[in-house]
Structure 1
C-alpha cells in the first residue's frame, strides 16, 4: 500500500504518527519512540511514522541520524529490539518510517515499564496480563507449533516414504532417507518425540499427516484450484479442492499446470526459441511462496484461478511486516512459516528458504512478458501472472545479449525493461524500478554501460540505449536523440581520446561511443574524408590517428 494511503487511513493497531517538530527535546522524543516500539513489540508489530501529526498532516523531520535512532531504541529496550528505518520523501518533506517487528517474548523499556498496543493507542501492560508470544515448539513460527492432540496414528507413512524418495533422488549427499521413519521426521523437526509419545508440528501435519487428520486439526489448510473458459469470467467451469499433504497437493497442481502450459516458437536467427506461457520455475516459486507465507490461522484457503491468459494466486495473510509492493523484489526473506520454508528447501523444492520473488520478476520480464502484479488487501495477497508475449523484441534482445555477455541480474533486467519502454531512465527512477538504493543503482548502470555498451549517458544521471542496441530493434523504435547530434558528439569524443592516446581501432570507437559496427565505420569514414583522421594498416591491423 502506498505510504500516502497509509497516512490517509489514520492511526490504527499497526500504525502510529509522531511529530518531530512539536518535540524539540530529542531525548524526550527517543523515550516516546521507545515506548511505542515496546507497545508494538508486545502486540502484532507495526510502523511508526515520524514527521506526521496526529491528524495526518505531514510536517517532516530535520537534522536526524537514522543510525542513532536505531541504536537509541535498541539500548532502551529489554530484551533488545531490532528496528529498521526507511527515509521517505513526500511533497518535499522527509519522514521516517520505523518498522517494529512482533517480539517472541514480552518486551520492556530499560526502566522496567511494559506497554502494549491496543487499537490505535499504546497502553501500560501489567504483569498479570503477560502472556508470552513464544508458542510451543519454535520461537515465533506458527508452523513449528506442537499439536498436543496428535500422535503417531496421525502420520501417513506412505507420505513419509515419498519424502524420503524425493530427498534420495534430489540430494546425493544426504543420508536422511536412510533413517527409520520417526528419526527422519524428528530430524526434519516435523514431530516431537518424548515421554508423552509422538506429537506432530503444524508443518508435520501438513507434510505427512493423514487426510482425515488434516481435516480434523487444520481444516483451513486447503488449496482450491478453479479453471475458467474465458478471461474475466466469474463462473468457473472446474473446481478442485485439495485437503491433502502439501507435497501431494503441489505435485497434483504442477501436473495440471504442465498439461495446460502451451509453447510459442520464436525465431531467433537460425534457431527457434520455445517460450512457454509461464516458465515452470516461476509458477512453482509462486505456488511454494503461497504455501510458505500463508496465514494458517486464517479460515480462508489458497485459491488458484486459471484463466486462458492469466493465473491468479490468492493467499490468506498480508505481506510480512516491512514488505510491500515497492520493495518485494529486494527485501530480505521473511517467511511467515519458517519450518515449512526450511522443509521445502530440504526437499529441494526451492534453492533457498526465501521469497523467490526476484526469480519470478527476472524470468517473466526476460521472456518479454509483463511484470508479475502483486495486490495487497487487508487480510490477503494476490499475485497475477500473464501469459501473453508483451515484447518479443525485448525477449530477442535479452537472449542475444545473454549469449554474448552472460546472465543479467534482476536489477539489470528491471532497468533495461524500463529503458525499452520509456527510452530514457534517470538514476532515481533506476533505483525505484529495481527497488535498490541510489548507490546500488549507480553501480548497476555502470555495469550496463560496460557490457558491450548497452547503455550510455544521455546527460548527468540520465541514461539511454546505445545506437548498437537501438539498431538491433525494429525500425519503428525511434532513436531518442538526433543522429546528427550523436555523430558530432562522437567526433568530439574520438578527438579527445586520440589527444591522449597514439591511435585507436574501430572496436575502440564502438566501445567509446556505443555505436554498432556499421555506425562506427560510417563516422570513421566521415572523419577521414574531412581530414581529421588518417588510416594506417589494413583489415584487422587498421588503426586510426589524428592527422
Structure 2
C-alpha cells in the first residue's frame, strides 16, 4: 500500500470538492459513525478511480488544521474501525499521525476494495463527488460487477459445476439477509433475487448466476458435494491416545453456520459441569473447559482453514486430558509460523467467510479470538492454549484443569 506524500495529502486538504477526501475536526459525537460511512464509501470506489481515499481528523471543512491533539488513544480508536466488525468485508486502511500545514493531523488512508460492495452497519455507502450517500440499486449492481475484474480471494471464486438451484433461497432470504442488512434497507429494496445474491457475493454476478464458494458454504443446500473436505470430524476418545476406544464420533456437514452450531452442541454435551458442595460454604460450579475458549478456537478453525484443493476436514478430537482442534493448512499472509498468536498480527485467507461469521453473530470483532481463549482458559483454571503450527496445519491443544 503506497504511502501518500505530505504534498499529496496537502493537495487533498486544499481540494474542497475532491471525492478522495473527507475532513473532520475531532472524533467525537456522531463523527465515529460518519467516519465509518466515509471509509465504506472510499472502499467501494464507485467511480473507479483506483486511488486511495483519505479521512482527515483534526481538520476544518476549509482544509485548515484546527490544532487537535493527536494522541495514541485517538490513533487506536481510528485503527479499531478496521477490525471492530462494523465494516464488511474488512477494509484495507492505515492510520498515521502526520504533520501537515504546520500542525498534527490524524490521517486514515483507505484503499479501494477488491470485494465490493462494502457495507457499514448493513448499508452500502458510496461517494459521488464531495458527498456520500446510500447506494441505489444501479450503483449496487455496478459495485458487484467490478468484482469480476479483480484478483479475488478463493472464497468468492465461482464454482463452475454448481448451479443457482444449489443455493437455498429460504436460508438466504429468511436468515442471512435479515442479519446482513438493516430493516429499512430491506423494506426499500426493489432488487431481484439474483441482484441480492450478487451483492452478497453468493453468486458470480447478476448475469452469471454460478454460485461462489462463499454462497455454497453460507447458504448452499449441500456444500460438501462441491467442497468435499469442508466438514468437521468430531471424536470423543476414552483415553489419551488415538488408539484408545472412541465413545462418540460424528461427521458434521452442511453449511458453515449449521456445522458450527452442531459442533458447539457436541462440545457442550461433553463439557459436563460438576458441582462441588464440600470444599466451600456455597456450592461451586466447575467445567473442564471454558465454553468461550472452545468456541473461539472452533470459529478460528472454520474461518482460517484452507478450502481449496483439499479433502481434509477440521478435526476436533476430545481426549480425557485435552482437546485438539486441527485446522487444515498453515498460517496465511502476514501471519507466519514464528509470529502466530502474537497480539496485533492478523490476516485473513477467507475474508468473505469472516463477513458471514460476523453477520451471524459468531464473531463480534476481528483478531481477538486467541486472546479471548487465553483469558477464558486462565479464568477457568486451565493451562494456556498451545499451538502447533506448520505449513500444512494449525493445531490448538486445550488441556484440562491441572
Q: Alpha-carbon deviation of 1:138? A: 5.8
Task: Write out per-residue CA displacement over residues 98-139 of structure 1, whole angstroms, 9 at most, x where no aligned residue.
Answer: xxxxxx9xxxxxxxxxxxxxxxxxxxxxxxxxxxxxx96764
* Aligned equivalent of 1:155, options 167, 171, 189: 167
Instruction: Assess if the C-alpha contact under 8 Å between 1:137 and 1:145 holds in 2.
Output: no
Q: Alpha-carbon deviation of 1:356? A: 0.8
Q: Alpha-carbon deviation of 1:210? A: 1.7
Q: How does 1:199-210 map to 2 (within 5 A)?
A: 199-210=210-221
* Aligned equivalent of 1:142, options 154, 165, 175: 154
Q: Distance in 1 between matches of 2:177 and 2:268?
A: 22
Task: Write out per-residue CA displacement over residues 178-206 of structure 1, whole angstroms, 9 at most, x where no aligned residue.
Answer: 6675555444322233223x122211111
Q: Which residue of 2 aligns with 1:291?
A: 302
Q: Alpha-carbon deviation of 1:353? A: 3.5
Return 5+ residue gaps in structure 1 as ranges: 1-81, 83-103, 105-134, 391-547
Q: Alpha-carbon deviation of 1:156? A: 2.1
Instruction: Name the CA shift for 1:164/1:376 in 2 (closer, same or farther; >3 Å).
Output: closer
Instruction: Name the CA shift for 1:182/1:264 in 2 (closer, same or farther; >3 Å).
Output: farther
Q: Which residue of 1 aligns with 2:385?
A: 372
Normalising by structure 2, we get a TM-score of 0.55
Q: Which residue of 2 aligns with 1:3?
A: none
- Local SS of the residue matching 2:210: strand
Q: Distance in 2 between matches of 1:241 and 1:249?
A: 10
Q: Which residue of 2 aligns with 1:62?
A: none
- Local SS of the residue matching 2:383: coil
User: How many residues align structurally?
Assistant: 252
Task: Write out per-residue CA displacement over residues 41-93 of structure 1, whole angstroms, 9 at most, x where no aligned residue.
Answer: xxxxxxxxxxxxxxxxxxxxxxxxxxxxxxxxxxxxxxxxx9xxxxxxxxxxx
Q: Alpha-carbon deviation of 1:257? A: 1.3
* Aligned equivalent of 1:247, options 249, 252, 257: 257
Q: Distance in 2 between matches of 1:255 and 1:166?
A: 24
Instruction: Name the CA shift for 1:325/1:152 in 2 (closer, same or farther; >3 Å).
Output: same
Task: Write out per-residue CA displacement over residues 275-320 of structure 1, whole angstroms, 9 at most, x where no aligned residue.
Answer: 3222222111111111111011233111111223321111111112
Q: Which residue of 2 aligns with 1:238?
A: 248
* Aligned equivalent of 1:262, options 253, 258, 272: 272
Instruction: Name the CA shift for 1:376/1:366 in 2 (closer, same or farther; >3 Å).
Output: same
Q: How does 1:479-494 map to 2 (within 5 A)?
A: none
Instruction: Assess if the C-alpha contact under 8 Å between 2:374 and 2:384 holds in 1.
Output: yes
The structure whose residues are more often helix, as a share, is 1
Task: Write out per-residue CA displacement over residues 342-385 of structure 1, whole angstroms, 9 at most, x where no aligned residue.
Answer: 11111111102335111011111122110001101331111111
Q: Alpha-carbon deviation of 1:159? A: 3.1
Higher relative contact order (CA 8 A, sep 6+): 2
Instruction: Name the CA shift for 1:202/1:353 in 2 (closer, same or farther; >3 Å).
Output: farther
Q: How does 1:112-151 map to 2 (within 5 A)?
A: 139-151=151-163
Matched, 1:275 2:286: yes
* Aligned equivalent of 1:223, options 232, 245, 250: 232
Q: How does 1:468-547 map to 2 (within 5 A)?
A: none
Q: Distance in 1 between matches of 2:295 and 2:178?
A: 16
